Amino acid sequence: MRCLMCENLSLTHICKVCQASYLKPSLYRRKLSNGIEVLSFYKYQDIKELLHTKHTDLGFYIYSILAKNSFTQFINNFDFDEPLVSLAIDDNIESGYSHTAILNKSLQTRNIKPLFNCLRAQNRVSYSGKSKEFRLLNPRKFTLKNFKAEDVILVDDIITTGATLTQACEILQSKQKEIVFCLTLCDVANK
């Protein structure tokens, strides 16, 4: 196949050279209105086209590559004393795979156990391009499946206003869960 970025022959959808030059993660930090920290790794502008593949067959491969370069690298350098679980926003399987489930799965390490299909949005309205007011007036209404662990990492691909993650935190906190931090690939606020 050919690399999506440079079009040279490659064994993966993005060649090793492009992964090293364009997908080297940075670490951006932002706080939600509830004080919980969100860590992200890329500027939205830099990976916008790659994120758009999530609605196509390519998305599975591209998200796996993005996850390996950012989430997996980050988590392997992190020491957790206590075992914890990670949950993804909207990881229902729609078109054969879930892009946030791929990100979540990439966190699997000795001390982190990704859980799938735990956090469900009952309101599936799209927030894309909508105002903050719209997002507040149309809450996601998350439901949470029971699980034992108390400490949680929350996972999503993009943070824009933070409304979705904030709402997910609320349901987790209402079940006495502790959110260690949230991880996203990119923060739209990073210019």
Instruction: Name the nearest CA neighbour of 167 among 117, 128, 127, 130.
Output: 127
Instruction: Name the nearest CA neighbour of 124 among 89, 172, 169.
Output: 89
For the record, the structure tokens of 34 come out as 């509830």
Spacing of C-alpha 98 from chain mean position: 11
Piece of 17-25, 92-100, 121-129, 152-160 that binds Zn ion (CB under 5 A):
17-25
Residue 188 in the binding site for Zn ion (CB under 5 A): no
Q: Which is nearer to Zn ion, 23 or 183 (CB)?
A: 23
Q: Are 66 and 40 in contact (CB under 8 A)?
A: no
The SS3 of residue 5 is coil
**Minimum distance from residue 163 beta carbon to Zn ion (Å):** 35
- Residue choice 3, 118, 119, 183 for contact with Zn ion (CB under 5 A): 3
- Residue choice 13, 15, 169, 185 for contact with Zn ion (CB under 5 A): 15
Q: Which is nearer to Zn ion, 6 or 189 (CB)?
A: 6
Residue 5 in the binding site for Zn ion (CB under 5 A): yes
- Residue choice 9, 11, 18, 152 for contact with Zn ion (CB under 5 A): 18
Residue 88 in the binding site for Zn ion (CB under 5 A): no
Cα–Cα distance for residue pair 93/102, rounded to 1 Å: 11
Under the rule (CB under 5 A), what is the footprint of Zn ion?
3, 5-6, 15, 18
